[in-house]
Amino acid sequence: MRKYNYAIPLALVALVLAVALARRGGGPPPEYRDSRLMMDTIVEIRIWGEGSIGGAAALDSAFAVIAAVDSLLGDGLVTGAERDLLAAPCVDSIMATGRTAWRITHGLFDPTIGAVSRLWEFHPGAKPPEADSIAAALAAVGLGRRPREEGRDVVLDVGGIAKGYALEAAAEEIERLGFRAAMLNAGGDIKIVGGKPGGGPWRIAIRHPRSPGEVIGCLEVGPCSIATSGDYERFFTYDGVRYHHILDPRDGMPAAASVSVTVIGRDAGLCDALATGFFVMGADEALAVAESLPGIEAVFIFGDSLRVVTTGGLAETFEELK
Amino acid sequence: MTRPTLSDIVLTAGLAAAGVVLLLMQSGGAAAPGGVAVIKSVNDTTRVVSLSDSLVLTVDGALGETRIRVGGGCIEFLSSPCPHKICVGRGKVFRAGDYIVCVPNGVSARIEGESPFDAVVP
């Protein structure tokens, strides 16, 4: 009696098993993801791989870190005596970043602009504040020239740096828990930890300033922080004039020098502050400043024609898509 | 060559099924669902709707109702009880990873699906 020939079915089974086992060994690690409304925006955290606790628990832990910063700083406008503010948790560290950005941008990022910021509202139907009100508020603005009087109230506008600070703290927590890859996104402020699961660079697109839903370029990056300041996120039009939310600390009015600035660097808070300061400064001067800073790269979009220029370090890693 | 016995068939089918199950298990955790909007509210409700549907959703939030139109591969906020209407001003979004959020009312809608980008910055 001839025996049944197992060769063909066994070969097929072996093939399926081999493919399955190969994918098990070389495929991307498991991803855990959640998003929550915090810090006046939507915060999304994605982590990959395995750590000392489960992925869902790690997400909860990272969100708890951000919630702690959120509860202290809220919308980022904090008012009080300078001495009291600097003694508050987080604020001293955030202001240290603010002072660094203030120096780099020659005072065009100024965290003491809060007194002016709170005069403005940016929504359909809004009106610009009266010129007298802005002038009066400007008297309290100026990190360098404001006298350090004890008991004097100041209004700090540290919303952007606070988001970056929270992302840095949450990223530290994720790494402490043993996870090696993560992407944290707080309304466009991004913190990337580790290499991209599956290999290759992280691909980060920059939204088109004038065509919602479209993108104008793409960055390919490794672990870093990315922040963008644009004139198109919060704005209103009054008497045919467009007013956006990035204010020039010299006159308290929306800065007109740029359309969008994206900064790439190590610290998320500093990137956010520099994006604001560079926006006010304008591409010509800011490009030179950015080129002089080790570890900082930037993409500038300006003018009616939406001209795009980048620092030299992005020559090979930024692709314009318009 | 003789015909396979019932045991031969069971053994072969079992091994093949095990391989297929392994393959399916591995693909389950990585990929995002395609062409859907995930709509969340501050009151912990989450709804997932296909972007190929055509409908208007009413979502309860912290201040009241947010009305969201889903259709034609896009989402947009039609109305929300927030003071500044920034969410309504976002217009339509259609790219995977993009989102609209009404912070005062605690409602967000995010498009999930395959994307050539890991993130989009504003």
- Kindly calculate the radius of gyration of chain B based on its CA atoms and give it in whole angstroms: 22
Domain presence at residue B62: yes
A176 and A107 Cβ atoms separated by less than 8 Å: no
B76 and B69 Cβ atoms separated by less than 8 Å: yes
Structure ipTM: 0.82
**pLDDT tens-place string over residues B88-110:** 988 888 888 888 999 899 999 98
Angstrom distance (rounded) from CA A252 to CA B17: 69
Contacts of B42 in chain A (CB under 8 A): 37
Quick one: average pLDDT of A91-101? Answer: 89
DSSP class of A57: H
How many separate domains does chain B show? 1
Q: Name the residue among B8, B15, B121 with its Cβ closest to that of A206.
A: B121
In order, the DSSP letters of A162-188 are HHHHHHHHHHHHHHHTT--EEEEEETT
Question: The domain that contains B101 carries what CATH number?
Answer: 2.60.320.10
Q: Name the residue among A42, A206, A226 with its Cβ closest to that of B99.
A: A42
Contacts of A30 in chain B (CB under 8 A): 29-30
Q: Hey, are the CB atoms on B16 and A183 less than 8 Å from each other? A: no
**pLDDT tens-place string over residues A281-318:** 999 999 999 999 999 999 999 999 999 999 999 999 99
Contacts of B118 in chain A (CB under 8 A): 183, 196, 202-204
Give the residue from chain A lying closest to B104, CA to CA: A40
> What does DSSP say about strands A41-48 and A77-81: parallel, antiparallel, or unpaired?
unpaired
pLDDT above 90: percentage of residues in chain A: 61
Interface test with B, best of A42, A167, A202 (most B CBs within 10 A): A42
Domain presence at residue B41: yes
Contacts of B109 in chain A (CB under 8 A): none
Q: Is the sign of the CA dihedral B24, B29, B33, B38 positive or negative?
A: positive
End-to-end CA distance of chain B: 68
Q: Hey, are the CB atoms on B108 and A42 less than 8 Å from each other? A: yes
Total count of residues recorded for chain A? 322
Angstrom distance (rounded) from CA A155 to CA A268: 22
Q: Name the residue among B26, B93, B116 with its Cβ closest to that of A23.
A: B26
Domain presence at residue B13: no
Domain presence at residue B19: no
A101 and A109 Cβ atoms separated by less than 8 Å: yes
| Mean pLDDT computed over every residue of chain B | 80
What element of type H or E holds A270? Answer: helix A268-281
Nearest chain B CA: its distance from A67 CA (Å): 15
Distances B92 to A36, A188, B21, B85 between C-alpha atoms, Å: 21, 18, 40, 14
Domain presence at residue B7: no
What element of type H or E holds A107? Answer: none
Q: Is residue A85 scored above 70 in pLDDT?
A: no
Q: B51 CB contacts (<8 Å, ≥6 apart)?
A: B35, B36, B37, B70, B71, B72, B73, B74, B75, B94, B111, B113
Nearest chain B CA: its distance from A257 CA (Å): 18
Q: Is residue B30 scored above 50 in pLDDT?
A: no
B28 touches chain A (CB under 8 A): no
**pLDDT tens-place string over residues B10-19:** 666 666 665 5
Taking residue A166's Cβ as centre, other Cβ atoms within 10 Å add up to 30
Kindly indicate the confidence band of residue A93, based on its pLDDT and cuts at 50, 70 and 90: confident
pLDDT for residue A17: 61
| Architecture, CATH, for domain A30-75+159-320 | Roll (3.10)
Question: What SS3 class is residue A65?
Answer: helix
Q: Name the residue among A13, A31, A121 with its Cβ closest to that of B12.
A: A13
Domain boundaries, chain A: 30-75+159-320
Q: Hey, are the CB atoms on A35 and B108 less than 8 Å from each other? A: yes
Angstrom distance (rounded) from CA A311 to CA B93: 30
pLDDT above 90: percentage of residues in chain B: 37
Which residue range(s) make up the domain with B80? 36-112
Q: Name the residue among A44, A218, A233 with its Cβ closest to that of B117.
A: A218
Domain presence at residue B117: no
**pLDDT tens-place string over residues A33-65:** 999 988 888 899 999 999 999 999 999 999 999
Kindly indicate the confidence band of residue A276, based on its pLDDT and cuts at 50, 70 and 90: very high
Strand partners, A157: A77
Domain presence at residue B29: no
With b meaning 16 or more CB within 10 Å and e meaning fewer, what string describes A293-317?
eeebbbbbbbeeebebebbebbeeb
* Nearest by Cα to A70 from B18, B27, B103, B13: B103
Angstrom distance (rounded) from CA B69 to CA B76: 5
CA A251 to chain centre: 26
Q: A291 CB contacts (<8 Å, ≥6 apart)?
A: A311, A312
Interface test with B, best of A16, A21, A34, A321 (most B CBs within 10 A): A16
Angstrom distance (rounded) from CA A270 to CA A226: 10
Distances B45 to A90, A129, A313, B70 between C-alpha atoms, Å: 32, 39, 44, 17
